[in-house]
A = this chain, B = another copy of it.
């Protein structure tokens, strides 16, 4: 049994809470939040507190708070030499106060408060200053059904940055497609199978090998017509830049 104290009440904290609660191998000793109201509704399921000086003992303290709050919160912890991890993709391991055994437990996934999340689909990047602290972090990931990956800080920060491209930026391309279809009275829904297939395809092919379309074929006629068809300058700029990027990747002039 791994015992944890959870700190914070945002999306990541809430999803972790539910996953820990559902796991037979994890015991949530306590849930801390600065504002007790947010977590008060869970008080029948877990010991909740807004008082740092009343924190109980546990194997792992998880700081699932905003990037900017990690350092400050970790400084205020009223104990020493316990395993304290944050859940941020971009924040240094050293943001955790040096009095503690420091680590990172970064779930690489997109979290919305509404949607339920299956942690089987959430890879967790684990990092620990002391090698001996790694196994318990890996076991915690396993206890909620997640695959864990030992990374260093450079790798984690690269993954966090790459995640912005495959998640936020990709989603914005979906949004632009939504705008293009709506402007022409077409149904965005018709594109959904293509969106899924595009994501599924890289399961078996590298993005390099999976590429198709007018930029790769250097089909100037179609590219020209597409640019003419686009009504917004912003959409035109995105079309231009990503067409150029595809051509560069594939050595097309």
Contacts and interface: CB of A to CB of B under 8 A. Distances in A.
A183 to B, nearest CB: 7
Interface string A147-187: 00101001111110111111111111111111011011111
A46 interface: no
A225 interface: yes
Contacts of A111: 212
A interface, over-half SS: helix
A215 B168 contact: yes
A167 B157 CA distance: 26
B216 A168 contact: yes
A154 B187 CA distance: 12
B90 A225 contact: yes
B213 A168 contact: yes
B172 A186 contact: no
A206 interface: yes
Given A158-B181, A167-B213, A176-B245, 5 more contacts: A115-B204, A122-B193, A165-B180, A172-B207, A172-B246
